[in-house]
Structures are given as C-alpha cells and as structure tokens.
Amino acid sequence: MDKGRAVVGVSVIGALVLAAGLVVETVPTQGLTTSTTGGGVCGTYPEGSAVAAAWFMTDLQNETDHDVRVRTVRIATIEGVRLEHLALAPHPRTSSPGVIITEDPDQPAEYGRTVPVGSGVVVRPHSDLNVSGRIVLDPDRTAGFVRGVVVTTQDGLGRLHTVTEPIAFGTGIGTGHDASEIGCHGA
C-alpha cells in the first residue's frame, strides 16, 4: 500500500513539474524592441568632394524583465556604400555625453564605448543597446545608403528573436538625389 501511494505521489509531483515547465515555456518572451517605424537620416557633401562618409547610430531597447544576449547584428540592405565599421555600445548612460566613436586615446573614457558585434553582449533588463557603424560612399557612386539594422538575440530559454530597425542612413555628393539613391527623402 505504501508503494502505491509513493507511485501516485511521484506521478503527481512529475505532472506538476511538467505543467510548470509548460507554463514557463509558453509565457511569451521577446528580445529587443525598437520604436522607429522607418524614415532615414541622410546628408550630402558639396559637389566636387572626393569622399563622402558618415557615422550612424540606432538604439534598441530591452523592455523585458530578463537579460537578452545579442547573437548577431547585420545590415539588411547596403546600396552604393561600403560598411567600414559596425559595433555595439551596450548600456549607454544618459549622463554621458553620448556614444561617440573614436580611436583617439586622448578622448575621455566614456567616448568610444563600443565592442565588436560577435562579443556576446548581454543587454540587461530595461536598458538600451546602441548599434553604430560607419559607411563610405563607393568611388563610382554619387549617393548610397544602408537600411535595416537586423539584431538576433537569445532569451534565457535559448529561443532566438530577431528585430529589424527599419531606418535608413545615407550619404552622397551634391544635391537633388532621388530618395531611392540616398535611402531617404530630403537630401
């Protein structure tokens, strides 16, 4: 009789553990989010310039109550430019003067707080991740752009989540570029 109760007890405990596991597994989790719905940031250099280059930066938020590990970061579309630099700036502080990319050793420590994309950055709950990069216009083009910063993250259960920041960043030489050439309107 005690064996029977033990078997029933173990079965009940096993069922409760399985049910708890299913509840945890079905609770929706997400990775990073973005508040941008599109648009672009573009600028041009005067006619006759030899080279056009620009830095860009975009911000993604971890609005969850858990850590989010960054697995990959890539640019969805690269048109007429080459991507010379892509880096992450985890946990930017609002009290700092901003995340500014520099290789100048004379700059203050809060400048250039970036890490390589493949460094396994963890974005803490309710904090931000900045993705920054540098584009240089191809020699045979008068305008070009990058569009769509695609970030894939992994949650605590090992599930992958992908978010795309749809904003475009463009650069060019001269004026009167079509929006499709430079990635956004008004440049």
Residue at 103 is within a domain: yes
Confidence at residue 147, expressed as pLDDT on a 0 to 100 scale: 93
For position 46, which CATH number holds? 2.60.40.10
Kindly list the averaged pLDDT for each block of 10 residues, start to end, along the chain of length 187. 52 51 49 75 86 86 88 92 82 46 50 61 84 89 93 85 91 88 74
Same domain, residue pair 56 and 1: no
Same domain, residue pair 125 and 172: yes
Cα separation of 39 and 56, whole Å? 14
Same domain, residue pair 39 and 11: no
Structural domain tally of the chain? Answer: 2
- Give every CB contact of residue 64 below 8 A, 6+ residues apart in sequence: 29, 30, 31, 125, 126
Same domain, residue pair 85 and 18: no
Same domain, residue pair 66 and 10: no
Has this prediction a pTM greater than 0.75? no
The DSSP string of 52-106 is -EEEEEEEEEE-SSS-EEEEEEEEEEEESEEEEEEEEEES--TTSS-------TT
Same domain, residue pair 41 and 116: yes
Same domain, residue pair 72 and 83: yes
Confidence at residue 113, expressed as pLDDT on a 0 to 100 scale: 53
Same domain, residue pair 45 and 3: no
Q: Mark 36-47 as b/e (b = at least 16 C-beta within 10 Å).
A: eeeebbbebbee
Same domain, residue pair 2 and 85: no
Q: Tell the residue number behind the tokens 């049910």, with chain if given.
A: 19
In terms of residue numbers, what domain contains 8? 1-29
Same domain, residue pair 17 and 73: no
Residue at 187 is within a domain: no
Confidence at residue 22, expressed as pLDDT on a 0 to 100 scale: 45
